[in-house]
């Protein structure tokens, strides 16, 4: 089996684990998918395509991610909702040495209490992944979303 | 290749075959994805998370599944609709001996005659899978759905 | 690892690359996923199931695909939109000699400028794939869509 297909499969597994942590609301597990100095960015496609810097969320370390989790679970006043991530198969776009670049399309569905599920945020993950002693981790997860109108606020990570 | 990644791939194939049987309306094939004394449960996440027993559908043997298929195809009066399942990559959550526990996120889209497609039911499969002479089969497929409001009735299996 | 699982993984990779080309609007790359005399068909499930010939799009060579790309990018007057494909795991339905038959469920989400994302077209790919010197290519990609009402026009390939 080719090394690239094998790696794809490992990244699919990483994406599935990541989605499960968020969808099961195990928010404390979320920063653990990243290395310490990792970045997490959620950016509109419009800005990404034009190489403009503005992003909806831009976290620059695991510490900032933990702070975000604290905000989500303890301080941000928001209407609760469930998320459900359905992620397509990953693509390896580059892999030089230790750092793998990969992408995958995602759809996040939102369900508010008492309501039907709806399309919430769709886009692609543009990832930099490194292999560590604890398995594959994100050095940068950039979520480039198509959705030009974000329904209410985006509270939980994508 | 690690045994776990290999098993994941087998479960992805099982999930794809299962989805295809339902979406192509080959309902008679549906019970054959299960062992004889298997369970099939469709439960709201709200109840699942609180460990409450109430479920929308709770079938406790392959016989009950066949009965359900008879109902769907012969007796239940309902507005017809197409389903389309898009299933994310599977995760192995435990595998002791013969019995594998796995999960996968799903989105089911519904299309009613003359209408646009819409999000119908999203959630995750929580599965117990056994290896048989006829390949992997479900000992229990539990569909935990986020969607708090079910659009009309849920007639076909998820 | 079984040859069939290996092949499934290769087709998942092909589907991911195909989706990425369309979603990133690299339309000129799109015909290159096909062999020269390939067909590309987009057909309503209603007609497909009844074996009726009418299709929304029926292109019978790579030349026609290039013409379509020219139309999309240069001549067809249309409201722009983003697409996002989320594709489920592929199934091998037959593989005699050189020609592989495979299927996969897809959901395409559309985002119009300034708007939320919505379900646009869901269905399944029914593919004939051949192995060439340049990797797997489509001899025929048939997109059978459930969506009975197509939102506005379908401009970009599915």
For chain B, the structural domain boundaries read 3-145
Confidence of residue B37 (pLDDT cuts 50, 70, 90): very high
Residue C4 is predicted with a pLDDT of: 86
Cβ of C146 within 8 Å of Cβ of B1? The answer is no
Cβ of B105 within 8 Å of Cβ of A15? The answer is no
**CA nearest to C6 within chain A:** A1
DSSP notation for C60-91: -SHHHHHHHHHIIIII------EEEEEE---E
Residue B98 is predicted with a pLDDT of: 80
Above 90 in pLDDT, residue C70? yes
Residue A110 is predicted with a pLDDT of: 95
Cβ of C122 within 8 Å of Cβ of B115? The answer is no
Most confidently predicted of A92-106, B61-75, B89-103: B61-75
Chain B residues with CB-CB distance to C146 below 8 A? 82, 84, 109, 111, 117
CA distance between the termini of chain C: 32
CA C19 to CA C105: how far, in whole Å? 12
Residue A1 is predicted with a pLDDT of: 55
Residue C44 is predicted with a pLDDT of: 95
Tell me the three-class secondary structure of chain A, residue by residue.
CCHHHHHHHHHHHHHHHHHHHHHCCCHHHHHHHEEEEEEEEEEEHHHHHCCCCCCCEEECCHHHHHHHHHHHHHHCCCCCCEEEEEECCCEEEEEECCEEEEEEEEEEEEECCCCCEEEEEEEEEEEEEEEECCEEEEEEEEEEECCCCCCCCCCCCC
Average pLDDT over residues A49-59: 95
Q: What is the pLDDT of residues B75-113, one digit of tens each?
A: 878 888 999 999 999 999 987 678 999 999 999 999 998
Nearest to C116 among A9, A107, A147 (CB): A147
Q: What are phi and psi of B37, to 5 degrees?
A: -100, 25
Residue B82 is predicted with a pLDDT of: 95
Which residues have CB under 8 Å from C33's CB, separation 6+? Answer: C14, C17, C18, C21, C137, C138, C141
State both tokens at B14: 């099982």
Above 60 in pLDDT, residue B122? yes
CA B105 to CA B84: how far, in whole Å? 14
Cβ of C17 within 8 Å of Cβ of A91? The answer is yes
Nearest to C84 among A5, A91, A146 (CB): A146
Average pLDDT over residues A39-49: 96
Return the CATH number of the domain spanning residue range B3-145. Answer: 3.10.450.50
Q: Is A3 exposed, middle or buried (0-12, 13-18, 19+ CB in 10 A)?
A: exposed
CA distance between the termini of chain B: 32
Average pLDDT over residues B57-77: 93
Chain A residues with CB-CB distance to C109 below 8 A? 107, 119, 122, 146
Average pLDDT over residues C79-83: 92
Least trusted range by pLDDT, from A27-41, B38-52, B64-78: B64-78
Task: Point out which residues pair with C137 in neighbouring strands.
Answer: C130
Confidence of residue B1 (pLDDT cuts 50, 70, 90): low
Task: Point out which residues pair with B135 in neighbouring strands.
Answer: B132
- The mean predicted confidence, pLDDT, of chain B is 93
Quick one: what percent of chain C has pLDDT higher than 70?
A: 98
Residues C76, C155: contact at Cβ < 8 Å? Answer: yes
pLDDT: which is higher, A70 or B4: A70
Does the pTM surpass 0.80? The reply is yes
State both tokens at C157: 């390939």
Say whether B68 sits in a helix, a strand or coil: helix
Q: Is B54 exposed, middle or buried (0-12, 13-18, 19+ CB in 10 A)?
A: exposed
- Does this complex have an ipTM over 0.90? yes
How many angstroms separate the CA of residue A76 from the nearest CA in chain B?
22
């Amino acid at each position: 089996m080719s090394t690239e297909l094998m790696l794809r499969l490992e990244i699919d597994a990483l994406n599935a684990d990541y989605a499960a942590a968020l969808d099961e609301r195990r928010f404390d597990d979320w920063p653990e998918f990243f290395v310490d100095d990792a970045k997490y960015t959620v950016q509109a496609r419009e800005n990404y395509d034009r190489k403009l810097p503005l992003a909806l969320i831009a976290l620059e370390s695991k510490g900032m991610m933990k702070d975000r989790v604290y905000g989500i679970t303890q301080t941000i006043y928001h209407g609760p909702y469930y998320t459900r991530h359905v992620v397509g198969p990953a693509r390896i776009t580059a892999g030089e040495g230790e750092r793998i670049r990969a992408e995958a399309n995602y759809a996040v569905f939102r369900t508010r209490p008492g309501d039907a599920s709806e399309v919430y945020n769709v886009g692609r993950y543009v990832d930099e992944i490194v292999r560590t002693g604890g398995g594959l981790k994100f050095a940068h997860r950039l979520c480039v979303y198509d959705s030009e109108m974000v329904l209410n606020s985006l509270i939980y990570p994508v």
